[in-house]
């Protein structure tokens, strides 16, 4: 081992141990290369550290061009909107991939190191990163077939010549877990003839070959580049599929987990307090495996939460949401979840497997069809298909219940957001939830992709008109959510690490407590999941302060979709 200072010697040793899992005898040399990269980074960039999280943390998820204005870079429009309307109500902005791309609204990256000129430039990104924590996607599993790396592969020249996975089309790949029903192998004409390359997600998104350690080093360089430009939360997109091994499902493999731990070590070495989040839209046991023993992801998405909340409000029952919440594991120290109800993707249904009966999932899907949504499918090992994802604006998903549309859409929607804001973990709000954006059917027709239904590009003047109209849905929801977020950020019981416990009150009611351990202060969150008035026996909480209204709680019934945040004192 080179003569490193003690801190780097320990870092080298930890890297080498982890890298031995995927790379065997090459691990020590690879660790040395990474240590040199980190040394160079620290020599050229001032040390910077971050607080991990607190009750004041609220994430905002947005595309770089969710807001547009003629003649102005969309990232600048976003920055101005945040400064004018949001200010410090949120702590972190997740700008979805803001790089040049060829498909999938940014997740098929052509160049990792450039800002898409249609959005702006690095100065626009930096302006946001100076006021908020910035979450950036590392689209690590695949690249665009229009990338220079893939052009190298086609031409048979380095470095891209060995960056991709070739496979004989006669190979039995039926064990491979598929998130899409597109072909796994894509025929490609190269100077060496036709080659079939691995493409988990689409024929335009070609999987990288991490068995080639040069690919790992490239990704390390990219992560350091992002950190140098203000990123403090790195999102590992589609990470579960990273490592491929024949005769396995090619998902959640030990080599993949080792790679994530390597990334965490690097991030913690150069930016203490910076966070790593894994995007793994799978059932809970697999999802939580990415915490490992507190040495892998700092954050995992709470993927079961969106479909469970949607199902609860669509059916008017707390049953499955309560069962799931009670079964949540204790998170390792230094780990928590990112709670959300909507994102740029649809509402995934895989997390409901084993939680909600298939018949009820089918009824939920039927409701979403009636409210203008779409459903994408995934292919199982027996080549049958199963619903994978609901594509719908969350606001329009709340148009009604399984019985049909009603007039409680706004109240039902706000209930969904308040549940998420109150639960243990860090809340993340999609910009189109904050703005009560309806289904974008025009966007679907324009793009030909059902996910576009929830990816509207608001013209800022049109949006401003809606927000200034006191009777518009956008204005009402936006103002209400801003008020609730402001209340939440002042309440210590909402620290992401504060314990959570389900309280049984009555059918149709979701209730849980959050307790601040140091002072013993407790908050009780109560939510009516139904479109009816419910009588409740809550004498225990009579006289408690409701943070939502600012009034003392004295009632024994809840209005449809009414929510309460009750505290016993005002300390």
Catalytic residue list: 237
* SS3 assignment for 142-204: EEECCCHHHHHHHHCCCCHHHCECECCCCCCCCCCCCCCCCCCEEEEEECCEEEEEECCCECC
Q: What is residue 105's three-state secondary structure?
A: helix
What is the spatial distance between Cα 271 and Cα 228, in angstroms, rounded to a whole number? 9
| Nearest by Cα to 11 from 26, 25, 29, 32 | 32
Say if CB 180 and CB 377 are below 8 A apart: no
- At which residue do the structure tokens 């799931």 appear? 324
Say if CB 523 and CB 493 are below 8 A apart: yes
- At which residue do the structure tokens 């026996």 appear? 537
What is the spatial distance between Cα 284 and Cα 273, in angstroms, rounded to a whole number? 26
- At which residue do the structure tokens 């790949």 appear? 173
Residue 322: partners with Cβ closer than 8 Å, 6 or more residues away: 502, 510
Using the Cα atoms of residue 548, residue 52, residue 60 and residue 508 in order, give the sign of their dihedral.
Answer: negative
Strand spans (E) along 224-359: 231-237, 275-278, 299-301, 336-340, 347-348
- Joined together, the tokens standing for residue 126 give 């930096």
Longest dimension (CA), the chain: 78
Say if CB 452 and CB 439 are below 8 A apart: no
Residue 534: partners with Cβ closer than 8 Å, 6 or more residues away: 506, 508, 509, 528, 557, 558
What is the spatial distance between Cα 301 and Cα 278, in angstroms, rounded to a whole number? 7
Residue 558: partners with Cβ closer than 8 Å, 6 or more residues away: 509, 526, 528, 533, 534, 536, 564
């Amino acid at each position: 081992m080179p003569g490193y200072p003690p801190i780097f010697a320990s870092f080298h040793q930890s890297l080498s141990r982890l890298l031995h899992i995927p790379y065997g005898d090459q691990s020590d040399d690879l660790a040395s290369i990474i240590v040199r990269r980190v040394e160079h980074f620290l020599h050229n960039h001032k040390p910077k550290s971050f607080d991990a999280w607190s009750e004041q943390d609220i994430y905002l998820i947005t595309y770089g061009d969710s807001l547009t204005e003629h003649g102005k870079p969309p990232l600048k429009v976003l920055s101005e909107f945040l400064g004018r309307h949001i200010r410090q109500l949120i702590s972190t902005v997740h700008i979805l991939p803001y790089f040049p791309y060829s498909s999938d609204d940014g997740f098929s990256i052509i160049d990792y190191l450039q800002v898409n000129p249609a959005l702006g430039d690095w100065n626009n990104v930096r302006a946001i990163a100076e006021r908020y924590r910035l979450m950036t996607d590392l689209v690590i599993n695949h690249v665009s077939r229009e990338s220079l790396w893939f052009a190298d592969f086609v031409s048979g020249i380095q470095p891209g010549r060995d960056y991709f996975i070739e496979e004989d089309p006669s190979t039995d790949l039926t064990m491979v877990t598929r998130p899409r029903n597109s072909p796994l192998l894509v025929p490609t004409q190269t100077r060496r003839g036709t080659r079939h390359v691995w493409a988990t997600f689409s024929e335009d998104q070609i999987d990288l070959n991490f068995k080639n350690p040069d690919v790992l080093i490239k990704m390390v360089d990219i992560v350091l580049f992002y950190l140098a430009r203000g990123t403090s939360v790195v999102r590992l997109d589609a990470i579960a599929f990273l490592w491929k091994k024949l005769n396995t499902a090619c998902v959640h493999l030990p080599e993949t987990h080792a790679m994530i731990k390597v990334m965490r070590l690097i991030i913690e070495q150069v930016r203490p307090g910076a966070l790593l989040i894994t995007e793994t839209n799978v059932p809970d046991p697999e999802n939580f495996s990415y915490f490992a023993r507190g040495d892998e992801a700092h954050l995992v998405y709470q993927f079961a939460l969106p479909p469970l909340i949607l199902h609860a409000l669509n059916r008017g029952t707390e049953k499955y949401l309560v069962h799931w919440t009670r079964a949540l594991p204790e998170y390792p120290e230094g780990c928590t979840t990112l709670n959300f109800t909507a994102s740029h993707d649809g509402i995934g249904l895989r997390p409901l497997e084993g939680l909600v009966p298939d018949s009820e999932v089918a009824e939920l899907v039927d409701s979403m069809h009636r409210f203008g949504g779409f459903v994408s499918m995934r292919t199982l090992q027996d080549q049958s298909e199963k619903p994978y994802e609901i594509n719908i604006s969350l606001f329009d998903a709340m148009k009604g219940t399984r019985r049909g549309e009603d007039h409680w859409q706004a109240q039902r929607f706000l209930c969904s957001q308040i549940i998420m804001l109150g639960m243990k973990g860090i809340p993340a709000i999609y910009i189109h939830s904050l703005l009560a954006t309806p289904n974008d059917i025009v966007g679907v027709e324009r793009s030909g992709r059902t996910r576009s239904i929830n990816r509207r590009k608001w013209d800022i003047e049109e949006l401003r008109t809606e927000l200034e109209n006191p009777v518009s849905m956008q204005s009402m929801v936006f103002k209400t959510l801003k008020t609730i977020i402001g209340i939440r950020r002042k309440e210590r019981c909402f620290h992401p690490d504060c314990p959570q416990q389900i309280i049984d009150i009555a059918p149709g009611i979701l209730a849980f407590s959050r307790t601040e351990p140091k002072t013993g202060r407790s908050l009780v969150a109560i939510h009516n999941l139904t479109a009816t008035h419910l009588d409740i026996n809550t004498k225990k909480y009579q006289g408690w302060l409701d943070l939502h209204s600012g009034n003392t709680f004295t009632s024994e019934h809840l209005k449809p979709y009414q929510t309460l945040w009750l505290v016993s004192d005002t300390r």
